[in-house]
Structure 1
């Protein structure tokens, strides 16, 4: 098959493409970058499985020093980690659903030719990309006006819609043939039906790409929880990781609530505990990438075509 293809190329163009030095250098650079990205994960994984006593005075390059599951047992013995996981799944799942739905509902009218208010809305969205209210005014608005602090919605609603995502959605919707919408409207379909049964199903690369970025953002987010959440029952998994990283560095001044954790960590190596906590935190989100890779590759060019 490869020989036939080569002969076909020679017969049509007379020239067979050969790899250039740029191709070799580009491939080498991509391999080097991939190794740079993979190495910290492999090293952290090796540290997490290392034996605490064997790790004294040693460092992990790739493979574990000894082998032990004590760090994982120590961390997973804390039942609160399941609650943190559940909170993060709710924040990421519900937040991503609302982001895709609300952003699509805002971007769809901006693609309509006869919508007179789209210029005003576009200008208002553009203003939010350059100006913000500040941390303290934002906190006061969430607390006093909307009463969102220490609730589920303070982790989801404030960042549900962004101007940048609306622009990307709008550009992608404009690439869908307008004849499909007009045909559906002639058959009696309303705007909601056109959006959710025609436009959104044709936007799988868009939804996968923005959804992946949104899920990762919610999963890695901890700063909003640090500012707006008071109850530990509502903390995300990243707050658990932060607690482990901070407590393992504490030598004095610990409060009574954290004394039990400090006693547990005293019998382990802080390096292996940190590594195990990191692996426990990142493993679920790493499992999402392979299932969305097909659409994510297509969606990397989203917004590159001017509408």
Structure 2
């Protein structure tokens, strides 16, 4: 029987052509997606004279890390980088905790307001106040030019709430009943049973949330006026779109460009690499949970 199980399935010519075509298409798509990242990294470490010649960089021309040194030495970039870490970390924690606490009661059939709250939450998915009412709300809550505006708003959204509720409802109810018989309360059931079994959905929502908050510059543009409160994405925006940004970061930067092998493009690309590196490092650690979490709600039972 073991020998029979090890026998290879013979593929027809059509199957082999199909598999080869699929692999070729996926390789092409992967190269197209990787090319911009490779270009950014190569420009960030290439010498200025080669960058000024232009062209597509898929391999460094010369080598220098002066751009990275200047990025890591700039006090404004370091400060805003730490701001972004704090904003993204706190916001993600609040999203997971508060959404879980809100979703769990909606899975308890004996909860009398379960249906009404669910309908109310669903309505908010289709209707919103808009930008101006939201700004007035933030102003009324004294969150304008307040770092808390980057953390507190939108920690509980209808979409995340429905995903959590769907996942919680799919957990075997007998486990909750057993815990109740043993004397556990609802809070203990949530923390000791439901949350440990919900790693896939927690990982999926956490990844979406931290990436969204890490890349969030629009909220800072609208609600923050003090530069010390900015996330690093606002500084990157200035570097990419404002030719005077270099002067605002460091008075000696323009002189540095004249006396060294780097150009503003080195600094731009080095900043992009430094900003996207943490997200690229986080993803592999939660990938095993991500695939299961993203399928929540895809199968109806």
The TM-score normalised by the length of structure 2 is 0.90
Task: Give 2:228's match in structure 1, choosing from 230, 233, 257.
Answer: 233
SS of the residue aligned with 1:227?
helix
Distance 2:20 2:150 in 1: 46
SS of the residue aligned with 2:49?
coil
SS of the residue aligned with 2:51?
coil
> Superposition RMSD on alpha carbons, in Å?
2.4
Say whether 1:299 aligns with 2:293: yes
Say whether 1:8 aligns with 2:5: yes
Deviation string for 1:139-188 (max 9, x for gaps)? 111112x1112222211221211111111111111111000011111111
Task: Give 1:123's match in structure 2, choosing from 119, 122, 135.
Answer: 119
Distance 2:240 2:266 in 1: 11
Aligned residues: 295
Alignment of 1:86-235 (within 5 A): 86-144=82-140, 146-235=141-230
Distance 1:306 1:74 in 2: 53
Task: Give 2:36's match in structure 1, choosing from 37, 40, 44.
Answer: 40
My pick for the range that moved more, 100-109 or 54-63, is 54-63
Q: Counterpart of 1:73? A: 69
SS of the residue aligned with 2:184?
coil
What is the CA-CA distance between 1:110 and the residue it aligns to? 1.2
SS of the residue aligned with 1:287?
helix
What is the CA-CA distance between 1:247 and the residue it aligns to? 2.8
What is the CA-CA distance between 1:125 and the residue it aligns to? 1.3
Structure 1 unaligned regions, length at least 5: none
Q: Counterpart of 2:242? A: 247
Distance 1:256 1:288 in 2: 33
My pick for the range that moved more, 158-167 or 17-26, is 17-26
Distance 2:204 2:76 in 1: 32
Cα distance change, pair 16–135 in 1 and its aligned pair in 2 (3 A): same
What is the CA-CA distance between 1:107 and the residue it aligns to? 1.0
User: 1:167–1:303: 8 Å Cα contact kept in structure 2?
Assistant: no
Task: Give 2:79's match in structure 1, choosing from 60, 80, 83.
Answer: 83
Structure 2 unaligned regions, length at least 5: none
Task: Give 1:62's match in structure 2, choosing from 58, 64, 76.
Answer: 58
